[in-house]
C-alpha cells in the first residue's frame, strides 16, 4: 500500500501547479466513462509547467504533483482515454 499524501506544502499553501492539475484529474474521474476510448484535449490557459509535467509524466520531488499524476494515469488507463494537455494561447 502507498504512503499517505499531504495536500499542499508544509505551510498549508498549495502551489499553482497543483491547483491547475487537480481539475484535470477530477474531470477525468467524473467524466471518464463518457470519454472512454476517446482523445481528450485539455487546454491550460495560464501555466505551462502543468503542460510540461503531464507530458513528461514526472516532476521533481513534488509529492502532491506525483500523486495527482499517478491518479491521472490510472484513470486514463482504466477508461482508455488518450489525454493531451496543451498551452492555450489567444
CB 39: neighbour CB atoms within 10 A?
A: 9
- Spell out the domain ranges in the chain: 36-90
Q: What average pLDDT does this structure show over 59-79?
A: 88
Q: What is the mean pLDDT of the chain?
A: 83
Q: pLDDT category, 39, cuts 50, 70, 90?
A: very high
Q: pLDDT category, 7, cuts 50, 70, 90?
A: very low
Which residue bears the cell 490557459? 45
Checking if the pLDDT of 14 tops 80, the result is: no
Q: What is the pLDDT of residue 9?
A: 46
Return the C-alpha cell found at 80.
482508455
Q: Is the dihedral of CA 52, 56, 61, 67 positive or negative?
A: positive
Amino acid at each position: 500500500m502507498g504512503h499517505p499524501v499531504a495536500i499542499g506544502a508544509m505551510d498549508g499553501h498549495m502551489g499553482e501547479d497543483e491547483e491547475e492539475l487537480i481539475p484535470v484529474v477530477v474531470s477525468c474521474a467524473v467524466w471518464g466513462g463518457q470519454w472512454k476510448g476517446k482523445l481528450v484535449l485539455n487546454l491550460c490557459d495560464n501555466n505551462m509547467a502543468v503542460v510540461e509535467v503531464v507530458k513528461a509524466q514526472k516532476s521533481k520531488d513534488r509529492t502532491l504533483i506525483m500523486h495527482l499524476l499517478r491518479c491521472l494515469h490510472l484513470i486514463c488507463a482504466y477508461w482508455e482515454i488518450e489525454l493531451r494537455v496543451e498551452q492555450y494561447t489567444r
